[in-house]
Amino acid sequence: MLIRILEQRDWPAVKQIYQDGMDGGNATFETNAPDWEEWNKSKLPFGRLVANQDGIVTGWVALTPYSSREVYRGVADISIYIHPAYQGRGVGRKLMKKLLEICDQQGIWTVQASIFPENTASLALHKSCGFREVGIRERIGKLYGRWRDVMLLERRMTYDPE
């Protein structure tokens, strides 16, 4: 399996994996994958990776800035999605490992994730990669007419801005 930088040419496969996650109902409050331009402008320019096996994009990971405020410049939200046929095969762990290396190199000191409590596979992946639970945001939003909770997890990186 090759982990490499996500490029625009990967977007059709990345978008489909994203939509598959949305359609499952336990990955995000979003219900429709955006177009490339919208997705591209919302993500940090580094830490966009795909897993590729035999020419097939099997998963992706990317970072979104937590806030535009200067004080939070080293805090990012993570998004990670794995092709349904490749879940449980170590794709997420390999993507996460490489992403966390990049975070240290790029001056990110906190990576955070918001995960539905029902998404046990994502919770297990994040915890196995050093994330810890910091709270639950109860009834934070509705998805398909139902109030949903979100668990907030974070990982502190070794980068020290001092």
Determine, yes or no, domain membership for 161. no
Range 113-118 average pLDDT:
98
What domain range includes position 126?
Answer: 2-156
pTM: 0.93
The domain that holds 142 is classified in CATH as 3.40.630.30
pLDDT band at 131 (very low <50, low <70, confident <90, very high): very high
The fraction of the chain above a pLDDT of 70, given in percent, is 98
Per-residue pLDDT tens digits for 10-30: 999 999 999 999 999 999 999
User: Whole-angstrom Cα distance, residue 136 to residue 151?
Assistant: 4
pLDDT of 126 higher than 70: yes
Count up the domains in the chain and report the number.
1
User: Whole-angstrom Cα distance, residue 59 to residue 82?
Assistant: 4
